[in-house]
Amino acid sequence: MKTNRKLSVKSVLIITMCLVMLMVSACSNSSSEGGNEKDENGNYVDKLTVSVASTVQVKDGQMDNEFHKYWMDKYNLEWDYNFIEWDSWGEKLRLWINSGDLPDVATWNYVHGDAMNYIDQGLLYKFPDDWKERWPNVAAAYELTGLGEKLEELTGGTYLLPRPVYYENKPADPLLNQIGVIALRKDWAEAVGFELKDAYTTSELMEFAQLVKDKDPGKVGSGLVPISYNAPDALTNIIMPNSEHSRVESAFYKGDDGQYHWGPADEETLTGLKLMQKAYQDGLLNPEFYTWKNSEGSDKFRVNGSAAITSLGGLASYRQDVDKAMKKNLGVESDEVVHTAIVLGDDNKYRNLEQANFWSALIFSPDISDEKFERIMDMVDFSTSQEGQLLLNMGFEGTDWKYGENKELVSLLPEGTSLEDKYPSRFEGLYLLGDDFSMINPAIKKEYRDRAVTHYEDKAKLSEEGGAMAEYDWTVQLYDSKAKNQASFDYATEYTNLILKDGDLEANWKEWVKSKQSLVQPVLDELNGLAK
């Protein structure tokens, strides 16, 4: 008994020493990591260094401004930047996530199958159960994405924040994708006798391009590009207006017969391909259009002034970017030379995709400390509030903007400049996309904002009046299988290869459809099985 008692005392001493060491270690870690305690003025006491991955590119010294300093001081943060080139965004995040090297917080181009795998493997941070009560502004915006709650049903928790496109300023209902808007040279159209309208068929735009090619009203010469699209632009503005299921977002769809189909095999897609091939063979598209990356197509229009038509997209901010670029590079007022419109199919029907109210997602490292996670979420919650949105999108009240006599927002920035010019790389908000605020932002010319809303309203109206809207199908979007992952194609490249291939286009297309069936049919079988 005495021996056992001595051993027990010894064991207690050892356990006590271990506990003391653990407490010292924990205190040391807490001290080095920093907590979220606040002083009497409500300021965070400890500074946290947070690693962040973003596609926003920042040059040395760009963050040395009062806007950036405001956010860093308010949240006592210091960013450890990990900037990503746009073209390598998906691949770099995939490598970081799978290798366990994900920065504390990152913007990720959401892929459902990958998301489910990452969650199953514990590669993403699991949010606390009470996060919606703690950060209500984020929760309210998150709810509007639809995806957030769908993922909760599948996973039993929250592992990422889908980024809302629209929050308080949704421009139309139903909401169609902002793609499918083009810009054309209004002055050239007037010179060749081409009518200005709010909507054109694909063939009408090709007729205008041919007139410009023949008459060269801008005296551009050999550098003239009648239709300045890259391969994705051609898919968006030539093929999709004739076939709403020709894109990856809507390629697998449920038809009126209740069965799932593959849109690229539809005759409507062939119609679009024929128009695209004609535009290429007639010299309306640049001979090397399919090699262009990013903004090379639009730069021919807004920087070089050598293009008659370019793909624009429906956001007012895009239109303002064109205005700034043309003033800077061409010395012209874009309002005098640019007209925007939406694109119809050759049967005069409007087609587009229903816009899911999210794009990309905010994700956190599974190894992030609770302190860092909470600090970031505090910042994101404020950035999503009305006060935070005003600050994030308009700058400082009294310096960058003010309220007018009727409580309307009035920008104080010099005409022709934006907040991005004054405070480059404003990514601190991280969450809510700028599309929402662009609808009301007075720093964007009112005419551009009104025109953007008109395009959205026209899309909604035309889609309901005999048009075709490819509905966002959650069954397809949230279905993941080996077969579905294997049937993932770069449609812009596939279509380009078809229109460039020698021989009869229809025969080549039919052969192409047949060649894909071994990958496509298993997906259709699985989806039709789910639909039963």
**Residue 61: band (very low, low, confident or very high) from pLDDT cuts 50, 70, 90:** low
Amino acid at 329: N
Q: Evaluate the omega torsion of the peptide bond into residue 174 and state whether it is cis, within 30 degrees of 0.
A: yes
Q: What is the pLDDT of residue 34?
A: 56
pTM beyond 0.95: no
Task: Give tens-digit pLDDT for 490-521.
Answer: 999 999 999 999 999 999 999 999 999 999 99
Residue 429 has a pLDDT of 64
Contact between 364 and 125 (Cβ < 8 Å): yes
Contact (Cβ atoms closer than 8 angstroms) between residue 37 and residue 76: no
Tens of pLDDT, residues 418-436: 888 888 877 666 799 989 9
Residue range 153-190, pLDDT digits in tens: 999 999 999 999 999 999 999 999 999 999 999 999 99
Q: Has residue 6 got a pLDDT over 80?
A: no
Give the integer Cα–Cα distance in Å for 425 and 418.
12
pLDDT attached to residue 156: 96
Closest CA to 236 of 293, 291, 316, 310: 310
* CA 419/CA 386 separation, integer angstroms: 18
DSSP string, 287-318: TTGGG--TTHHHHHHHTS--EEEEE--S-HHH
Residue 62: predicted pLDDT = 65
Q: What are phi and psi of 432, to 5 degrees?
A: -70, 130
Closest CA to 145 of 116, 167, 127: 167
Does residue 30 have a pLDDT over 70? Answer: no
Say which residue, 90 or 512, is predicted with more confidence.
512
Q: Alpha-carbon Rg of the chain, whole angstroms?
A: 27
What span, in angstroms and rounded, lies between the C-alpha atoms of 262 and 338? 37
Percentage of the chain beyond pLDDT 70 is 91
Q: How far is CA 102 from the centre of its chain?
A: 21
The model's pLDDT over 263-294, given as tens digits with 9 standing for 90+, comes to 999 999 999 999 999 999 999 999 999 999 98
Closest Cα partner for 383 from 428, 421, 422, 420? 428
Q: Do β-strands 225-228 and 307-311 pair in parallel, antiparallel, or remain unpaired?
A: parallel
Answer yes or no: are the C-beta atoms of 286 and 225 closer than 8 Å.
Answer: yes
Measured distance CA(341)–CA(521) in Å, rounded: 37
Name, in order, each residue with C-beta under 8 angstroms of 249's C-beta and a sequence gap of 6 or more. 353, 470
